[in-house]
């Protein structure tokens, strides 16, 4: 599933997804393995996987004064390249 599709389908939720393909340093293709309204549940679930996992909030942050930034680590790229 493409990142924009995940953001639309799981808007307002925390998503745990396997990264299947990277493009220009960003996840291009994902397999959602868990989603929840609660961030703590998503972070707990990610610990069950040994694969390349992305955890992120799908949708827009609605609270005034808050911002969200995602950093895709170089480690992810290294794992994909083998």
Which tens digits make up the pLDDT trace of 7-64?
999 999 999 998 898 888 778 899 999 999 998 998 888 888 877 778 888 877 666 6
C-alpha to C-alpha distance for 41 and 20, rounded to whole angstroms:
22
Q: For the chain, what are the domain ranges?
A: 3-81
Partners of residue 49 on adjacent β-strands? none
Which is nearest to 55 in space by CA: 65, 46, 64?
A: 46
- Neighbour count for residue 9 (Cβ, 10 Å): 13
The answer to whether the beta carbons of residues 61 and 68 sit under 8 Å apart is yes
Overall average pLDDT of the 68-82 stretch:
49
């Amino acid at each position: 599933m493409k990142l924009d599709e995940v953001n639309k389908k799981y808007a307002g939720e925390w998503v745990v997804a396997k990264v299947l393909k990277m493009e220009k340093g960003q996840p291009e293709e994902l397999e959602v393995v868990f989603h929840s309204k609660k961030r703590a549940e998503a972070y707990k679930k990610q610990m069950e996987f040994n694969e390349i996992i992305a955890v992120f909030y799908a949708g827009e942050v609605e609270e005034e004064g808050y911002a969200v930034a995602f950093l895709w680590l170089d480690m992810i790229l290294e794992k994909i390249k083998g």
